[in-house]
Amino acid sequence: MEEVALKKEEVKVLSTTTSVCPECNAVIPAEIIESDGKIFMKKTCPAHGEFTELYFGDAEMYHRFSKYAHDGKGVSNPQVKELGYTCPLNCGLCPGHMSHTALANIVVTNRCNL
């Protein structure tokens, strides 16, 4: 993973979220930030320190796409009863995911693949 150095005066915090530490996989708070025409994720693990990673290479495109991030419909998964935790744990699709499937890949073939 490549570390990125950001200039303090050029950083704009866009949102907060949760992520995982790349060293220990602990769930940690993160900020989505804009700097130098790009979008970065900045996160700090109490055990391993601060990490800043490129999240989106084009800030203008990120802002255009971000309006489609959550459609508010959500999903229903009877296997997940309550949200007693936060993502990005391995819950599968839970009510915390406020978007439905935006792109589904379907394999089309003329041959039987059984």
Task: Measure the CA–CA gap between 84 and 73, rounded to whole angstroms.
Answer: 20
pLDDT tens readout for residues 14-55:
999 888 899 998 889 999 999 999 999 999 999 999 999 999
Residue with more model confidence, 64 or 113: 64
pLDDT tens readout for residues 53-95:
999 999 999 999 887 766 556 666 666 666 555 566 656 666 6
Sign of CA dihedral 50, 63, 100, 102: negative
The domain locations on the chain are: 8-66, 71-114
Task: Measure the CA–CA gap between 50 and 44, rounded to whole angstroms.
Answer: 4
Given a cut of 90, whether residue 3 has pLDDT beyond it is no
How far, CA to CA in Å, does 90 sit from each of 16, 18, 46, 104?
20, 13, 22, 20
pTM of the model: 0.64
